[in-house]
Every structure is written in C-alpha cells, then in structure tokens.
Chains A and B, each alone.
Chain A
C-alpha cells in the first residue's frame, strides 16, 4: 500500500489545489499514469502514479487546497505496510476526505500554542499570498503563517483579512526555555477543522439558548426500547429520540433547518431534515449525515446511527455521507459540562448541543400538590445564526423539544 503525499512540485511550494481527479477509486493504474491535476502557485500539473496498482482511496475533494506532504490518495501496489511515495516523513494519520467542518462544543484548551512571530524582519510567503495581501491591503508582517517553516499561505491572508485571528500557526522562534514544548504539525484534519471553525465563527452571528429538560420519563421509555432493540441486534441510545424530536421540531420551525446560499443570496429551506452527527474520531471531529430523519422510525435511526458512527470512527465513511446536512447535533453528553456555545456546522443555520443526564431534586406537580422528587435532567444548548433566524424562533424550537422529550409519547406526533 502506498500513501501518496502531495509532493513539492515546484521549488518550495507550500500547498496545492486539487483541480481534478483523473481516476476513480477502484481503478487499476500504471506507473507514470496521470492521476490528478494539481494547481500550485507556480503551475498546474498532472501528478502521475508512482507505481502500478489499484487506487483504493482518493482523500481530498476537488477544489480543496492541501499542504505539501498531506496524503492525497492511497494506491494498493500489492505491497504490505504503507510505504510513502513522496516526502519521506512519517505518514500523517489517515484522514477522512475534507470532513465538512466539525461542529462541537469548544474543547478545553489543550496546550498553549506558539505565538506568531512579531511583525518586522523578513516575511516568508508564497507568491499568491503576496498577491492577495496586496489586493486586500493586508500587511504580511501581521499575518501568522501556517505553512511549512511558518510560510504564509493564501488562506492565512484571507483569514487575516476577514477579521484577524487565524488559526494558530506552528511558527515561532525557538523559545530559550529548557522545557520540552511539543510541536504538532498543524495540518490535515486538524487544519480542516480549524478552517471550518474560523469560517463559521467569522461569518455566522452566533447566539446560544440553553434549555433544561426533565427526561425522567424518557429514561424509562428508552430502557424499554433498548430491550426491544437488543432483540434485533440494534443498540438504542438516547440519540435516536433526540434526533426524532429535533426532526419533528424542525418540521414545525423550518426556518432553523437549511443553509444560506451566499452566492445566490438565498436562504435554502429544503423541507427535509438531514442531521449531521458530530462524531469524535481518533482523527478529530467528523460530521457524517443521516438523511430524511423525519420519515424514519426510532429503530431505523438507531440502526443507521450505529452503523454510521462505527464506520466514521474507523475512517470508512464515504465522502457523500459527509455532505448535505441541514442541521447538526453534537453530543458531549457523557464527558461533562453543563452548557456550551456550539459552533454552527457552516453553512447550516443552527446546531444543537446535547449534555449528560444528571439526577437532581425537582419540583413535581401531583394531585396531592407540589412535591420534591429525584428527577433526571438533560440540558440542550442550541446555537443559531442570528442573520437567518431570531431569538424567538430558537426559543420556540427548544421549548417544543422540551415538551415532546418530557412526554415521549408525543414523539409519535
């Protein structure tokens, strides 16, 4: 198996745009056969196969820009363990193709990232970055480069122009400290996630509404459903219930379900609910999509969800399964946190964050009057793009979610 990394096609090229794949997965190819057209700062060239074999995977979408050194396709040449075709550095973790963003509750800061080098002195930038910087009047000295050795890429300039804070660069002078700072290449899936996050947070006007839901009854219903599912070999979690409730809610409040087509200047409301399910994988967050949720039953949703999340974690999800979400759900439930401000899976209109179930004393109405009982609660954090919907829409939507999840029989409405 050959993991083919985008080579440095010119002298010191930092990145390339995948213009066109000339083969498909499963194709048998010959050594030197043209596989993909790549456009760099310097030239558009055809990249040929390094050996005879079969294409097992195309990892980057057409139109996507990837840094030199990223694996762009896999070629089964009959050999065993992955060999690298281009740059002889350790293979990057295999990634799912251009995962459409990864909405999630923001994770705790892991390590203090290196600060970009201050302005002044020699600025390293690829030619197209310089041109775009001229066009957008961006001072390259203020832009953090995310390319190899801190070279500024076009995307860095564009990000800087649309409001500054680019995803942290791995570029800095070596600190004189004796502590061993860990340096992780900022590329691949991590970089894709970063770019998507920046785009979402800099374009959509986020506001978040948090609702508390008494799920005591839902817990009981789910317990029964779990037993029924188990007979058919289907694992029933809380997720299918939430998905179903969300689909019902979105059919009632369609202005939260869809996306903005910026080019056409139109808000697109598709009338069907395709739910992106943020999935934590070894390679970062990936968001596979389950389509037409409103027309599916709980068991079917449970079955599809089980299959899809398993394949996503294993890196076997198909590119078309990563596209077309109209709304997303991110589940940080079993980890922790009580509320969150999820970032919208751009260009969706809204996203729902789901939190863990906790037991707390609650006030319950009974024929004998109000009593205090041990109840189970779950919080929902819903972020909405305020450009496309208003606070009242979101409030009505989460109130409706609460209503049907507190009384699960209403799910069949």
Chain B
C-alpha cells in the first residue's frame, strides 16, 4: 500500500498543518460534520416510523465528505455517491431541501421521482443527482471534466465512489479515459471497509486501491479518511494539479462505515463487534473536535450550541417536509417535454379523469416504490 497521508494525531495535535483552512472554516467544517450526523439520526427515526421509505447512514465517513468538499469550489462539478450529502451541505444546501427529497413531496426538486437520499443541487452548486447504479457516474464525471478542459475553464470534477465501486466497469472506463485525456478530474475512492456485507478485503487482489492509479498513468494517493485535514490536503493538491492541466488523480480515503449500509440492512449480522469498537476510537468527529480544542477553537459550550442548532434545524426541516403534500398527479407528465406529445396528453387526461372519480394516488398500498 502507498504511504498514508495523516495530519491529525490521536491527541488532536497536527504539527504539519499549514493553515490551509482558517479558524472560521475549520469550525464550519466541524459544524457540517455534526449536521450530517443530526440529519442521519432523524432520518433513521423517520424511516423506522414509516414516514420515509429509505435512508443511508453516513456515520464514520463525515471527515472524508467534508474534507473533500472544503478543498473544492461550490462551482466545481460534484458527482457524488449516495453517502456524500455532507459535500452539498458544506456548500450551502439546506437541510430542508434535502428533507423534501427524503419525503418525495411536492417541494422536492425531483418531485418525488427519485429515491430518498438521491439529492441533486443546482445554482450555484453543480451537484449531480446521486445515481443508484454503482460506478455509472464515474465516466460522467470524466465527461464533465473533459468539457471544462475543452472550454478552457478551470472547473474540476470530483467523482466519489466506494471500494465496491472500483469493481464496476465504469471505474475502468473512467480512469482510462481520464488518464488518456488528462482530464481535470479527481477520483475519490472512499474505502469504508464494506460494500454492503462484502468486506473490502474481498473486493480486490491489489495492495489497496490507490495503487490502481499506476495502471492508468496517474498518481495514486492514500489518505486517512477520518482525518479532515489530510483529506482536505490530498484533494486540494489533486485539484491544483487538475486546474494546472496535469490531469487526474486517484485518492483512496481509508475510513470506516460505522452504521448499516442502509435502513434495509442489519450490520450486526456480519460486522465483527471488535472491528467496530476499534474504529469507534477513531471517530472522525471526535478527532476533529480534539484538533479544534488543541487550537482553542472548541469547548463544551460550543459543542452544546452546535448540537442544539443542528438538531433543531433538522427537526424543523422534517416537520416542514412532512407537512408538505405529495407531488400532484400532473407531475407524472411534466418536466420532460416542453410540449406534451399527443399520446401522453391522452394518457394524462385518462389519469386525471380516473383520479377525479376514484380519489388520488395516495389511496394506493403505501408500498415502498421499487
């Protein structure tokens, strides 16, 4: 395995930190991590009480998300995985917007047409809709980077994916093209130990994931994914190279998924308890907290304030989203064609007529829409 970049020591000291993020930015990063946790927590409760259909926990990987986001501009292209919404939060996405998506209601930007957690944000963000199929967004990230390069712009593209994602065909296509074209793209492989229930050790015969970069003619870097400063530095350096026309980088962030894969998963059936305990000691939030405390930026009072703010904000977001009605039936037919083709218009009329006679689609079985 390539040498692992690490900056925050267990006691919170970070001798090699060069002030890349100022005090305000550091505290803001920490707050974003807490917000990710608060959002996760409430979504789990909402899902278990049947109010939303699905959720994906992020516990353990917050430093990777927020560290990477803090190294990029909000106008860079984000091609995230489903465990990356911390990146959007960091660049100003509102919890309530996300909550509308969790409920799939009329205020959801996708009008309930996407799965919960599959956020997308535009203007100023370029946060592309999270895609469920593993690895398909990697070639898209290369395409966006290639376009940016062709237009002479200095926007870079971030493709974020899991250890499992490296087994997809998209991974090979994307890294190969990016290497050939020297596209300004950063491949962030979040090795969080698991692809659902398959341990990372079963995913590849390589010595880690960063080493795969060599085959595609780009640098590969391994970074401690629970260390926000280290992730920030690795991604900053990759972005600099990309903006300077030096091409792509593959970063392996070594971290750990401390929760289940999703709300449909029971990790206690396969995650060894000792392994979880070991990683709990390396909790990225505590790590960052210790670093801030060492710099005199953190105390109990701040913690209480931030926790209370985050909890209140996500609770208010959930209330609002829950009270917002579902998308109207018309949205089945809207947002695709500027002028509706005749066959769809006819279908629409029939549907509206049926709804008028039988009541709205809410009368359906309430099954999770898969």
Chain A interface (Cβ < 8 Å from any Cβ of B): 4-12, 32, 42-50, 69, 85-90, 148
Contacts and interface: CB of A to CB of B under 8 A. Distances in A.
B36 to A, nearest CB: 18
16 contacts: A6-B50, A9-B47, A11-B54, A11-B370, A12-B368, A32-B42, A32-B45, A32-B49, A43-B265, A43-B266, A44-B266, A47-B48, A86-B49, A86-B51, A87-B50, A148-B365
Given A7-B50, A47-B48, A48-B45, A12 B266 contact: no
A19 to B, nearest CB: 13
A88 B368 contact: no
Interface string B23-54: 00000000000000000001001011111011
Nearest to A90: B363
Contacts of A10: 263-264
A345 to B, nearest CB: 33
Nearest to B364: A89
B215 interface: no
A92 to B, nearest CB: 12
Contact of B367 (A8, A47, A85): A8
A8 B368 contact: yes
The 6 closest A-B pairs by CB, nearest first: A87-B366, A7-B50, A86-B50, A43-B266, A10-B264, A32-B45
Nearest to B262: A11
A221 to B, nearest CB: 55
Interface string B339-370: 00000000000000000000000111111101
Given A10-B263, A42-B265, A43-B266, A87 B367 contact: yes
Contacts of B54: 11
A9 B48 contact: yes
A12 to B, nearest CB: 6
A79 to B, nearest CB: 13
Contacts of A7: 47-50
A89 B366 contact: yes
Contact of A50 (B50, B363, B366): B50
Contacts of A12: 367-368, 370
Contacts of B266: 42-45
Residue among B265, B266, B269 with the most chain A CB within 10 A? B266
Contacts, number: 76
Nearest to A5: B50
B182 to A, nearest CB: 41
A49 B49 CA distance: 6
Contacts of A4: 49-50
B48 A85 contact: no
Interface of B: 42, 45, 47-51, 53-54, 260, 263-266, 269, 362-368, 370
Contacts of A50: 49-51
B48 A46 contact: yes
B319 to A, nearest CB: 10
A9 B366 contact: no
Contacts of B363: 88-90
Interface of A is mostly: loop
Nearest to A34: B48
A49 B42 CA distance: 12
A85 B366 contact: no
Contacts of A44: 266
A42 B264 contact: yes
B323 to A, nearest CB: 12
A48 B366 contact: no
A45 B48 contact: yes
Nearest to B269: A43
A185 B322 CA distance: 28
A69 B365 contact: yes
Contacts of B45: 32, 48
Nearest to B42: A32
Given A42-B266, A43-B266, A85 B49 contact: yes
B365 A89 contact: yes
A8 B50 contact: yes
Given A10-B263, A10-B264, A48 B48 contact: yes
B49 to A, nearest CB: 4
A86 B367 CA distance: 10
A26 to B, nearest CB: 20
Contacts of A5: 50, 366
Contacts of A32: 42, 45, 49
A87 B50 CA distance: 7
B366 A86 contact: yes
Nearest to A10: B264
B310 to A, nearest CB: 15
B149 to A, nearest CB: 40
Given A87-B367, A89-B366, A148-B367, A11 B49 contact: no
Given A7-B50, A46-B48, A87 B365 contact: yes
Given A7-B48, A48-B45, A49-B49, A88 B366 contact: yes
A121 B42 CA distance: 41
A32 B44 CA distance: 10
A284 B364 CA distance: 25
A12 B369 CA distance: 9
Contacts of A9: 47-48, 263-264
B48 A88 contact: no
Contacts of A49: 49
Contacts of B364: 88-89
Contact of A47 (B49, B269, B370): B49
Contacts of B50: 4-8, 47, 50, 85-87
A32 B53 CA distance: 16
